[in-house]
């Protein structure tokens, strides 16, 4: 038997031992990644449910006003006072009453009797008149404030016909507070994405990114899936394991990002361990080959 074959035998004998050393590291890393993806998805679902609860609470308040005697009597000055009180009690900026032509009849951001925009509704709120159902808009610029808003609108019915839309404007800051109250793990980030793929609210750096398109990888997945996980780079440039889950009361999606730095560190440790094992195996094979030569 040649000297090379003699030296190769110890190496072949040591390969199963090397595999048994490396495989647990690989298996543990894969399990860690799957746990992180699962945890991120559960967090996205939790936040989506929390956002839906807020939207439902706003909708319920609007329904009380829409079905009240004050509005039935067209007592708009009194309705203005009631709407101001309701706006203060909710996480909303203002309440607006609009007619079928989109004209604002009252807006709690302005004193009663003040001039109001002729076309003050985002177009999607017109769906209230077409469907007779509550509507949640995507992000738009408020015609009175000139700032980003979303709106929840409900129909005001008379004899089965929709005569008004009563809506509440909600600022991204208020929605962002909802995301922050969830106490995300350190380094994690959450965002609310509207039906057009734009950032509605964010748990971090909201002033910088609200209104901008969400991460490209996330927008691409949202075109085909309502829920799942995705590897992406955040708008800040941080690599994360992302998870997304839909709102049941709107076209919105909640996205959560868990930084994968820990996974990268684990991969480096695994790679280093593998290289070290290979070097040790090679050295042992060389030594044994010398002894047996």
Report DSSP letters for 33-79, one per residue.
HHHHHHHHHHHHHHHHHHHHHHHHHHHHHHHHHHTSHHHHTT-HHHH
At 170-196, the pLDDT tens digits run 999 888 888 888 788 888 999 999 999
Question: What's the pTM value of the predicted model, to 2 decimals?
Answer: 0.79
**229 CB neighbour count, 10 Å cutoff:** 21
Domains present along the chain, CATH in parentheses = 55-173 (3.30.450.20)
Region at 74 (left for phi over 0; alpha for psi -120 to 50; beta for the rest): left
Closest CA to 51 of 250, 258, 227: 250
Highest mean pLDDT among 19-33, 229-243, 272-286: 229-243
Give the integer Cα–Cα distance in Å for 293 and 289.
Answer: 6
What percent of the chain clears pLDDT 70, i.e. is strictly above it?
77
Please write down the long-range contacts of 261-270, taking CB distance under 8 Å and 24 or more positions apart.
261/187, 262/32, 263/29, 263/32, 263/33, 263/36, 264/239, 266/28, 266/29, 266/32, 267/29, 269/25, 270/22, 270/25, 270/26, 270/29
- Give the position of tokens 């708008």: 235
On the question of pLDDT at 265 being above 80, the answer is: no
Give the integer Cα–Cα distance in Å for 183 and 66.
Answer: 35
In the numeric block, which tokens belong to residue 28?
A: 């543990």
Lowest mean pLDDT among 71-75, 99-103, 114-118, 226-230: 114-118
Give the integer Cα–Cα distance in Å for 135 and 71.
Answer: 20
Give the integer Cα–Cα distance in Å for 160 and 166.
Answer: 16
Highest mean pLDDT among 17-26, 31-40, 125-134, 207-216: 207-216
């Amino acid at each position: 038997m040649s000297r090379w074959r003699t030296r190769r035998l110890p190496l072949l004998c040591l390969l199963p031992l090397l595999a048994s050393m490396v495989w647990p590291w690989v298996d543990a890393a894969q399990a860690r990644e799957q746990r992180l993806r699962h945890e991120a998805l559960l967090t996205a679902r939790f936040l989506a449910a929390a956002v839906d609860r807020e939207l439902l609470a706003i909708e319920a308040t609007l329904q009380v006003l829409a079905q009240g005697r004050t509005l039935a009597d067209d007592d708009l000055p009194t309705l203005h006072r009631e709407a101001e009180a309701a706006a203060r009690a909710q996480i909303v900026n203002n309440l607006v009453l609009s007619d079928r032509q989109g004209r604002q009849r009252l807006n709690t951001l302005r004193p009663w009797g003040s001039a109001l925009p002729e076309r003050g509704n985002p177009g999607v709120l017109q769906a209230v008149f077409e469907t007779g159902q509550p509507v949640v808009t995507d992000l738009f610029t408020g015609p009175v404030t000139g700032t980003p808003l979303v709106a929840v609108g409900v129909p005001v019915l008379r004899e089965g016909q929709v005569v008004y839309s009563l809506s509440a404007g909600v600022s991204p800051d208020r929605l962002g507070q909802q995301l922050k109250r969830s106490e995300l793990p350190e380094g994690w980030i959450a965002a609310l994405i509207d039906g057009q793929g734009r950032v509605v609210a964010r748990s971090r750096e909201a002033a910088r990114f609200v209104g901008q398109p969400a991460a490209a990888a996330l927008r691409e997945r949202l075109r085909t899936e309502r829920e799942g996980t995705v590897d992406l780079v955040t708008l800040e440039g941080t690599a994360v394991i992302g998870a997304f889950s839909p709102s049941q009361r709107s076209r919105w999606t909640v996205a959560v990002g868990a930084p994968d730095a820990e996974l990268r560190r684990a991969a480096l440790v695994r790679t280093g361990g593998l290289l070290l094992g290979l070097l040790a195996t090679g050295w042992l094979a060389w030594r044994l080959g010398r002894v047996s030569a």
